[in-house]
Amino acid sequence: MAKRIPEQELAAIEGALSGHPEGLTARQIENAQVFSVPVRTLQYRLQYLVAAGRLVKDGDRRWARYRLAPDQPNRLIAGETKIDAQADLFVPVSKAGAEIQKYVRQKPEKRRPVGYQRKFLDAYRPNVTSYLSSRELAHLHQIGTPQIAEQAAGTYAKQIINRLLIDLSWNSSRLEGNTYSLLDTKRLIDFGQEAEGKDHLEAQMILNHKDAIEFLVCAAEDIGFNRYTLLNLHAMLANNLLQDPTAAGRLRRIGVGIDGSVFHPLEVPQLIEECFDQILATAAAIKDLFEQAFFMMTQLPYLQPFDDVNKRTSRLAANIPLIKGNLAPLAFADVPRQTYIEAVLGVYELNKVDLFKDMFIWAYERSAARYAAVRQSLGDPDPFRLRHRDELRALIGEVIRGRMDRKQAAEHVTAWTSSHIAMGERNRFREIAEDELLALHDGNFARYQVRPSEFRAWRQVWRAKP
């Protein structure tokens, strides 16, 4: 009897394609890291979905692109409203969380309009009230605490910052509807290459995340739940994205609405400022780092203290105690956008955190496992690198001696790879070459047979801002 394909794996592929109407290649789906299986297994899953009518295949062989079938992007739930098919398939939901989903999936006209409830904030007493149970907190600490000696704030995040910048920038942007792929995001962050056919605002959103994450990691000893951190964090995330440029890093002075919700945020500036300060003071007083993170991720978007970019600010702010405490960061990997939206609506319209908590714990388990694996993999030998060591040495030496900046280097790597590397290995080789360039420093450049003067001259061009 043939072994049944896990539905979760099939749904993961559909989820990876949900934001890409133009379709993705098998390699791009693999790079999205929806789950870890051999390439041949992934190709079998894709063939199965095509045969089942759930995917459409355009093209042939390595150039084939897969996209969702016309009736697959959304499903109708109980005759009410369309939702992302990932929602029930990915995140295990508690009974209370399921009740919240049932309510917020109704059409807006069937839900009761509500305003901001100050008592939801006032009722929280630091270290007395707790959204997360003691058992849940113990679980999060167990999986999120790396086996390292006590170190300065931010040390753990600095060790994995290259991966964190891409993961968190991509996932947080994806939750806002950004259509960049993981690979597109990597090229944008590493080399400043915008993806073809994408809106410039999408690139701006991702680059803003990069700046904000670097701020949190590099200033780990100075950040906290205070105005300096939160206002500057918002200013970085909102840079060049607001109609009023002066609103970046400034508390809201205007009324705002929430699309698809019957929730009406506060409109009085004095009350917004008062509640904002209360949120910061309450968060700062919470002793448990995970409770701090969850409290901020819940209460900040509920207040809507800024003209826009509130949820993005809350997601990065949730990482403040994790970064400072050298815990695994929360990158929101694989979180279905619809589940996140429903969880937020549960807070907005019902002041209930159960679904948000389900999502938070599940998402953190994924992130903690990912970064534990990242740390374990550092320094592992790579047979592919060994086989292509001469080609890598020649290519990177040319980039350094040619004093190429990031964009010039990216173009040269692509052209060189097309001329010297077999077609089936080009993507892998190009990614390794780009990673090698990013990892160059005073202690490892000699292996590429360049002189110190050549390296210093190149590094000045490489580090210069475009």
Question: Percent of the chain at pLDDT above 70?
Answer: 88
| Residues 6+ away with beta carbon under 8 Å from 147 | none
285 plus 403 within the same structural domain? no
Question: Percent of the chain at pLDDT above 90?
Answer: 58
198 plus 130 within the same structural domain? yes
- Domain-located, residue 87: no
Number of separate domains in the chain: 3
Pick the range with the lowest mean pLDDT from 41-50, 109-118, 201-210, 216-225: 41-50
pLDDT of residue 160: 86
192 plus 53 within the same structural domain? no
- 177 vs 249: CA distance, rounded Å: 22
| Residues 6+ away with beta carbon under 8 Å from 51 | none
Task: Please report which confidence band the pLDDT of residue 71 belongs to, taking 50, 70 and 90 as the band edges.
Answer: low
242 plus 391 within the same structural domain? no
Rounded to an integer, the average pLDDT of 394-400 is 93
pLDDT of residue 81: 33
- 441 vs 84: CA distance, rounded Å: 44
235 plus 370 within the same structural domain? yes
149 plus 113 within the same structural domain? yes
Which among 261, 270, 234, 263 has a CA at the least distance from the CA of 250? Answer: 234
Pick the range with the lowest mean pLDDT from 199-213, 224-238, 350-364, 427-441: 427-441
62 plus 103 within the same structural domain? no
pLDDT of residue 39: 74
- Domain-located, residue 355: yes
pLDDT of residue 85: 38
CATH number of the domain where residue 152 is located: 1.10.3290.10
267 plus 343 within the same structural domain? yes
147 plus 262 within the same structural domain? yes
Q: Bigger pLDDT: 204 or 465?
A: 204
pTM given for the model: 0.68
* Dihedral pair phi/psi, residue 66, rounded to 5°: -115, 140
- Domain-located, residue 284: yes
Average pLDDT, the chain: 86
pLDDT of residue 36: 64
363 plus 398 within the same structural domain? no
- 230 vs 322: CA distance, rounded Å: 15
Structural domain including 119 reads: 93-377
CA angle 91, 173, 250 (to 5 degrees): 120
pLDDT of residue 13: 83
Tell me which of 331, 354, 377 is where a domain ends: 377
415 plus 274 within the same structural domain? no
Q: Please report the beta strands in 104-195, taking only residues with DSSP state E, as ranges in sequence order.
A: 114-115
CATH number of the domain where residue 46 is located: 1.10.10.10
Using the predicted structure, report yes or no on whether residue 328 has a pLDDT greater than 60.
Answer: yes
pLDDT, tens digit (0-9, with 9 covering 90-100), for 368-392: 988 887 766 554 446 787 688 889 9
316 plus 450 within the same structural domain? no
- Domain-located, residue 158: yes
pLDDT, tens digit (0-9, with 9 covering 90-100), for 35-61: 566 777 888 888 888 877 788 887 766
- Domain-located, residue 188: yes
Rounded to an integer, the average pLDDT of 262-283 is 97
Q: Bigger pLDDT: 332 or 155?
A: 332
Using the predicted structure, report yes or no on whether residue 116 has a pLDDT greater than 50.
Answer: yes
Tell me which of 51, 68, 85 is where a domain ends: 68
Tokens 């904002």 map to which residue? 276
User: What distance, in Å, lies between the first and last C-alpha atoms of the chain?
Assistant: 59
Using the predicted structure, report yes or no on whether residue 1 has a pLDDT greater than 70.
Answer: no
| Residues 6+ away with beta carbon under 8 Å from 200 | 194
> Are 171 and 206 a contacting pair, CB within 8 Å?
no
| Residues 6+ away with beta carbon under 8 Å from 10 | 45, 48, 49, 54
pLDDT of residue 443: 65
pLDDT, tens digit (0-9, with 9 covering 90-100), for 54-67: 888 877 666 678 88
- 276 vs 308: CA distance, rounded Å: 15
